Structure formats: C-alpha cells, structure tokens
Structure 1
Amino acid sequence: MTKILLVEDQATAAAYLSQGLREAGMTVDVASNGPDGLHRLLTEHYALAILDVMLPGLDGWTILDTARRAASPTPVLFLTARDDVEDRVRGLELGAEDYLVKPFAFSELLARVRVILRRGDAGANFKEPTRYELADLALDLLKHRATRGADRLDLTPKEFALLALLIKRTGEVQPRAVIADQVWDMNFDSDTNVVEVAIRRLRAKLDDPYPVKLLHTVRGVGYVLEIRD
C-alpha cells in the first residue's frame, strides 16, 4: 500500500486530509511539527511527503532542503497559504514536485498526489484499476459505461462520477461531505441536499429495477456500495 507522510500543524486539517488519503487507499503518517516531520522523512521510506510550509520548529523549505542534502529521494508536495510567485519558485527550486495553495478542495489534492505517484519511481506500482465489478454491476472508467447484467445504465456524468467514487471504495461508508467535495468539488453545506437528490436518482437507476440492492444509506453517516445478506 502507498505510504504518505503528511506534515501539518493544524490538527483539523491534518485529520481531514489524512482521513481522505486513507479512504483513497493510502497509508498515512502524520507529523505536527517540522523536526518530527524531518526525522520521519529521513528515517522512513515514503512514496510522497506532503509538507505545510509554515510549521513550528522548522519550516517546510528547511525540511526539503535538509532532506535533499541528505540525498532523500522522496517526492514532496507543498501546502501553503502563501500565493507569492517567489514562494512557489523557491519551493520548486528546492526540488518540490508540486505546490498547492490553501484553501483547496481535497479532490484537487488527491488528483495531484496521484499524478506525482505515477510520475516517479516511488509510484511505479501505483496503478488505479479502470474496471470495477460488484455482483452483476460493472463499471468501465475508460469507456464511461456502467451495466447491471446485460442492461446498460443510462447515467448522467455526475451520477457516473458518484457511482465511480462509491465502487472504488466498496464496503466503505462515504460521508456526505466527502461525496460533495469529490463529485461536485464543493464544501459541504448542511442546507444543500444535492447529495441526497443525486443518491436518490442514482438508486432509481442502479437498484430499483433489480432484486439485489447495492446502494445503502447509513443513517447519520453517509452512503455505501456493498452486497448485503
């Protein structure tokens, strides 16, 4: 499993990002300050390090500079609230793979992480499947086709994206906030029922005509795609 180092001193942000990365199938170690982050980076093997720039003890630039001087090959993605061109250039010149300015959507971070993992030797074994199956449901990402048995499901682009998110994480409950972020690239708003509406429409096509139900609601938590007895 792909192992990621996240160095972020804001506890809420660290918890949110690490949870999302784990839900995406990665192992995540979290450090809350610069010295701990540098120690982990130099003593353990990671496919990628995600560094906040402003950290207690050592800033992200110092961590990366020290790691490169110690011949650490781990790719680095910077997270920062600073959008100055000089700051971005500095990070890239030190050897960072990418630079993401806060605030950002988790879906964008995940996309950039996957690009970096595919690009380097560390991500050589990271290959996302293009076809998923569950019972008589099949989803082909390349052909953008979903079927149940011999029936092709007529899904809108958002319904297909929603189903893809759920089938990639079969058996894992997806909170409404995660769905809203990754399918609609929006922050979850409790007054918005876009997720519920989309789930209802997807269920009408995916489950209602068939005896075996695959899309389930976990009340107060979210939604999950799985086979239940």
Structure 2
Amino acid sequence: MSKSILVVEDESSIRKFVRINLERNGFKVLEAGSGEEGIEIARNEKVDIVILDLMLPGIDGFEVCKVLREELPNLGIIMLTAKSQDVDKIMGLEYGTDDYMTKPFNPTELILRVKSLTRRIESSENINEDTILVSEPFKIDTYSRKFYKENCEIELTPTEYAIAKLFVENSGKAFKRDEILNLVWGYDFVGDSKIVDVNIRRLRSKIEDDSSNPNFIETVWGIGYRWKIRS
C-alpha cells in the first residue's frame, strides 16, 4: 500500500512541485498551506509522513513539529528550510524531525529521503517471530512497535525506535556513526552524519535517568556509540 504524504508549505508553487514528484513515485499526497491546517489534516487523515516547511504563516514549523510529535509520535517528519545555518537544522532535529532538507533542493534527493524514511517506518511495523526484545530494564515489543522502561511505555519517533532496536539487538557492539547512518537511514542517505548525534542525544533524554551521564547508550570515543551490556 502506498504511503500518504502531507506537504505543509505556504508557497503553492513549491507544494505543486513536491506533489508532482511524489505522485510520480507512487505516493498519495495531501496539502496544507499553513501549520494550523497541517495539524488539522494530520489529526483527521491517515498520514504516514509530513514534509514540513519551517517558515510558515501563523505557527512555524518548529511548533507544528512539537504538536505532531506529542500527538502522533509514529509520524515521519522531514523539515524543509530556506535557511542553511546549522542551528536551524539542529533545532528541527531537537524538536523531533527525522530528517531535514535545505531549499532549494533536488527533487531526486527529496524522493530518496522520503523512501529512506518510509523504509524505517515499514521496518518498525514489520512483524517477526521474536516479538519481544529484552535488555533490562527495557523491553521492545516489535509487534506493536512499543518501547518500555520498567514496564512504562516511552514514546519514540520512528528513527529513535530504529536506533534503539538496532542497539538492543546488538548489545555491546560499538557502532561507527556511518554504520548507524547506513543501517538506520539507509545507504542512499545523502545528509550529514550529525543527524546521528542529535538523534542519540534525543533518545538519551527519553531513556536515561541522567542524559548528561548516560548509563545505557555509551559513547565510544573516536568511534561512535554502543549499547551497554547489563550484568
């Protein structure tokens, strides 16, 4: 079944451009010209991924992302920004976006990023025989795509879930940033590896007792990260 993409962008020419390219690749496309309209559509329609412009009339993309993450944590979000400063990209990731692109962008790159995020969402939805992964005090139910700490559910984005699942399935293994990028985002991802660090920081803030002194996701200096084996 084709994924449903919501494009939240106030410039109609850009919305049309994005829509044409997405539909050519088999996606169903919905459109919104403001953040308020985008939130309303996401609440009432079956949406898998939101392509979200940062600079919107009314509430901006950051605020829209915050609302969508609180209400629809399984939603995939790609933020579009006309600004090239790293701070805007980092802020978008901190608010919960899965990816970002800077305008003007190549439509082929946008499609690759949408497909990469689609694979992450589909992977998190796949049912397999070993439906429960355990690494105390955590448990991952891969059937329902739920993550628990001490039997209390923690809401994770599709990207955070994919990273957590990768770590738990490979406890003790040190992953380079590029390995995480390839295994979670996909080998055709063309973005910055900083996206790994931001998502790790966001994941730590949700699962660690003290994210500044992590006890589960360890930093392996000069390499990357690993999930600590519990004794």
Q: Which residue matches 2:77? A: 76
- Contact kept? 1:47, 1:123, Cα under 8 Å: no
Q: 2: distance between equivalents of 1:71 and 1:4?
A: 14
Q: Which residue matches 1:49? A: 50
Superposed, 1:12-23 pairs within 5 Å as 12-23=13-24
Change (3 A) 1:71 1:16: closer
Amino acid at match of 1:91: G
The CA deviation string for residues 45-79 of structure 1, in whole angstroms up to 9 with x for no partner, is 21110000001121111001011222442110001
Instruction: Quote how far apart the aligned CAs of 1:124 are.
Output: 5.3
> Normalising to structure 2: TM-score of the pair?
0.51
Q: Alignment partner of 1:58: what SS?
A: coil
Q: 2: distance between equivalents of 1:42 and 1:87?
A: 26
- Contact kept? 1:52, 1:60, Cα under 8 Å: yes
Superposed, 1:169-184 pairs within 5 Å as none
Q: Alignment partner of 1:20: what SS?
A: helix
Q: 1: distance between equivalents of 2:52 and 2:119?
A: 19
Q: Tell me, yes or no, if structure 1 residue 11 matches structure 2 residue 12.
A: yes
Instruction: Quote how far apart the aligned CAs of 1:28 are.
Output: 0.1
Q: Alignment partner of 2:74: what SS?
A: coil
- Contact kept? 1:48, 1:74, Cα under 8 Å: yes
Q: Which residue matches 1:96? A: 97
Q: How many equivalent residue pairs?
A: 125
Q: 2: distance between equivalents of 1:26 and 1:101?
A: 22
Q: 2: distance between equivalents of 1:31 and 1:83?
A: 24
Identity level (%): 34
Q: 1: distance between equivalents of 2:77 and 2:9?
A: 13
Superposed, 1:45-194 pairs within 5 Å as 45-121=46-122
> Normalising to structure 1: TM-score of the pair?
0.52
Q: Which residue matches 2:150? A: none
Q: Which residue matches 2:27? A: 26
Change (3 A) 1:30 1:122: farther
Q: Which runs of 4+ in 1 moved over 4 A?
A: 122-125
Q: Which runs of 5+ in 2 are unaligned?
A: 127-231
Q: Which has the larger radius of gyration?
A: 1
Q: 2: distance between equivalents of 1:2 and 1:75?
A: 11
Q: Alignment partner of 1:82: what SS?
A: coil
Q: Tell me, yes or no, if structure 1 residue 39 matches structure 2 residue 40.
A: yes
Instruction: Quote how far apart the aligned CAs of 1:81 are.
Output: 0.5
Amino acid at match of 1:120: I
